[in-house]
Chains A and B, each alone.
Chain A
Amino acid sequence: MKQKLPLLLDCPRAAEFCDKVEYHEMDWTGKLQLRLHLLFCADCRGYWKRNRKLTQLLQKADLHTCTEQEKRQWQQQLQQAKSQESAP
């Protein structure tokens, strides 16, 4: 993704657009710009493919994470338990 192409998008911007597409946060004009860029840029096409594959893997793994609120709650419980243990 080093070369610059005489298109609307440069490579770093195209990479950002690739990411946004994976999160469904790209409008149709952005998608069109990206398509055009990908037609001429093999490096970005490579990134786009890897990125697509990564999204598929993440979906396949079906990971569940806890919320920040849940984490804060557990941290609080741990701190409380620790202070109770250290109390005489």
Chain B
Amino acid sequence: MGGLGLIRNLTQGRPCNMKTHTIDPDQWVDKYSDYLFNYTITRVRDRETANDLVAETFLAGLRSMKNFKGESTERTWLVSILKRKIIDHYRRINSAKGKAEVQFTYRDQEEGDRLEEQIADLSGRNAQQLMENEELGKAIMDCLEQLNQRQAAIFKMKTLEDADTETVCNEFGITPSNLWVIIHRTRTALAKCLEKTWF
């Protein structure tokens, strides 16, 4: 960090080693839309609602750009806006219904345990599994962000959207052999990136 940056950080009360992040709304959709969309859909479980919430987040981010201090990354900052949007969404739903909804999953009493215990156990396991899956999803998204944007977009379309080869090739103007080379490189890079924690 240069002398000027250091003086600016000190005058603004930031620690000396804190990196200042920049903001560029033109890059938001390409860089963060998949991450934000995945974050939202795991919480609202409805594609249309998730789409609206992500769009609202981008627009709210644009409006409050001047509040971005550069202390966190752009993505973290956008996620904090999105979190508020998701909470507002649930508030709207609950106020429309007049009360919060509690969901129970009933199943056969195989072991003769009390229903309450079964529910508690089930929800505990589910919560843990959900958290682990979310961590994994975040790790995958982080690894994909390190790759070339076009390469990552091709991989996502083919793998996560399960699009057929012809559709992907038409969308990106590539041949099937190009596609398989890109897929191979991306899978190798992704496996290497995830290796330490997840393999």
Q: Which of B38, B54, B63, B199 contacts A63 (CB 8 A)?
A: B38
Chain A residue at minimal CB-CB distance from B153:
A68
Which residues from chain A contact B50 at a C-beta distance below 8 Å?
64
Output the least CB separation between B96 and chain A (Å): 25
Which residues from chain B contact A65 at a C-beta distance below 8 Å?
34, 37-38, 156-157, 160-161
B137 in contact with A74 (CB, 8 Å): no
Q: Does B6 count as interface, using CB distance less than 8 angstroms? A: no
CA A57 to CA B199, docked complex, whole Å: 9
Chain B residue at minimal CB-CB distance from A22:
B187
Chain B residue at minimal CB-CB distance from A68:
B171
Chain B residue at minimal CB-CB distance from A12:
B184
Q: Which of A19, A70, A71 contacts B30 (CB 8 A)?
A: A71
Q: Does B62 count as interface, using CB distance less than 8 angstroms? A: yes
A77 in contact with B59 (CB, 8 Å): yes
Chain A residue at minimal CB-CB distance from B51:
A70
B137 in contact with A63 (CB, 8 Å): yes
Number of residues on chain A facing chain B (CB within 8 A): 32
B187 in contact with A51 (CB, 8 Å): yes
CA A72 to CA B33, docked complex, whole Å: 11
Answer whether A78 and B28 are a contact pair too, CB < 8 Å, given A16-B184, A53-B199, A63-B160: yes
Chain B residue at minimal CB-CB distance from A64:
B41
Answer whether A62 and B191 are a contact pair too, CB < 8 Å, given A57-B140, A78-B62, A85-B62: no
Q: Does A43 count as interface, using CB distance less than 8 angstroms? A: no
Which residues from chain A contact B137 at a C-beta distance below 8 Å?
61-63
A71 in contact with B58 (CB, 8 Å): no
What are 24 sample pairs from A and B whose C-beta atoms fall under 8 A apart? Answer: A15-B184, A16-B184, A19-B180, A19-B184, A19-B187, A51-B187, A54-B190, A60-B136, A61-B133, A61-B140, A62-B133, A63-B141, A64-B37, A64-B47, A65-B157, A66-B33, A66-B34, A68-B171, A70-B33, A70-B37, A77-B58, A78-B25, A78-B59, A81-B59
